[in-house]
Amino acid sequence: MHSATVSLDPAFVVGPVRRRTFGSFVEHLGRCVYTGIHDPGHPTADADGFRGDVIELTRELGVSTVRYPGGNFVSGYRWEDAVGPVEQRPRRLDLAWHSTEPNLVGVDEFMRWAAKAGVEPMMAVNLGTRGVQEALDLLEYCNVPGGSFWADQRRANGAEDPYRIKMWCLGNEMDGPWQIGSKTPQEYGRLAAETARAMRMIDPGLELVVCGSSGSQMPTFGEWERVVLTEAYEHVDHVSAHAYYWEEDGDLASFLASVVDMDHFVESVAATADAVRAARKQTKRVHISFDEWNVWYQKRAESRPPSGDDWPVAPVLLEDRYNVADAVVVGNMLISLLRNTDRVHSASMAQLVNVIAPIMTEPGGRIWKQTIFHPFALTARHAAGEVLRLAIDSPVHKTARFGEVAVLDAVATHDAGSGDVVVFAVNRSLTGPVVLDVDLRGFPGMRVAEAVTLSNPDHTWSATADDDTSVLPRPNTSAKVADDRVRAELPPVSWSMLRLVRE
């Protein structure tokens, strides 16, 4: 049995818990929109065709922002196709996912769904096949009160008041060779700067996200960020980061240690942004929008889009079934995002429904929570106040990909208003439990209000529509406070939350 110690003190603060850390992502991909959020024939569907059960679970998940409409899809998207009378909207080929887009859901429908779900929209513009003017048209449609062509079109379409969308993504993964209209960093950086400058002429208060490299394993990574930010630094607020992890060739130990790469990713992007800041003699700091992250088994058959003459509407794509180990990694990724809250100011788990998602639906039928739903929902619900900088003393074990890695990883938050302290921890050991001691000398007089652990002796267990997933996670009855310490036993391959309150 391993032992680990976590020390925390209210004086050592990383930064605030940002509600935008708990964002999600809805792309016109597979069944995320159609038979996901939008399913007019479903018994819970409202007058707009949106599933009420999906909205209910979105709220339970604690989602703060939703990025829309892509993703790869946005790089070929003509947003004008999906406004106005539905019966007059054209069907278009979606080259990104070899599908047909019926345009039944567009900007106005999504904004009504976002209001019902209680989420902040994060809109993306097409800088693949389109450019500055189309981005300005969409911004005018969304944010200008009236008196201009596109603003009056919105009003004619039933939305009298402007949407006032604040966060905008300047394209998506523009260094990816799979991306429609992919570009060199010089080409994209110049286009992003021109688009950002023009958009601010309409709405100076926007928060703009420039595309970082598509991933830390890309040959463009690092140099892409440097060149793009050199072109656009003055005009943007955030640079995007995207990361997906999955278990390969049965190497569970390396998979459970994926956050080693995620932490390095954040550190590298932040360092590059700060180097450009210094070189350009800027005072403001560009932060990170980690607007795609999750576990995604990219080599599975369902991750490959259709081909040939078949262009289906809402095909089954990227519908990963998540197990307990996947949920532990997702919980650990949330630990990383919180730990880096000084630089990561926004994040979006990709995606919300059906497509590599915490929520699954049957067309016209049942809905259920995947294993990854639980660490996200509990972290979003209980992380509040400020993120604390921890001292972690943990044993290590060897991994094939990352070398020696700490068995235990953790983060803690402190809400000064309520006095609550919440510790989120993972045991990445494959073989044995970890006895965790949390040093509470900086927080005297605490008791355990809630302690839960997500684990299963079979870490390959996955939820299905027939399972009652409310049994995950379970109470951790080992958590006790004594002598200014809380002690809890964490099983192997597990995620845990300890919520402490004052006596």
So which residues are the catalytic ones?
Answer: 173, 292
Beta bridge partners of 99: 94
- C-alpha 158/C-alpha 186 separation (Å) is 40
**50, amino acid identity:** F
DSSP strand pairing (396-399 vs 434-439): unpaired
Q: Can you state the percent helix, strand and coil of the chain, rounding each to 5? A: 30, 25, 45
Q: Do the Cβ atoms of 435 and 336 come closer than 8 Å?
A: no
Residues 6+ apart with CB under 8 A from 86: 103, 104
- C-alpha 186/C-alpha 177 separation (Å) is 15
- C-alpha 503/C-alpha 151 separation (Å) is 56
Q: Do the Cβ atoms of 128 and 173 come closer than 8 Å?
A: no
The residue whose two tokens read 């180990």 is 325
Is 298 buried (19+), middle (13-18) or exposed (0-12) by CB count in 10 A? exposed
The residue whose two tokens read 């599908």 is 99
- Strands (DSSP E) contained in 18-103 are 23-25, 65-68, 92-94, 99-101
Cα distances (Å, whole numbers) of residue 220 to 59, 174, 201, 215, 260: 37, 11, 31, 9, 20
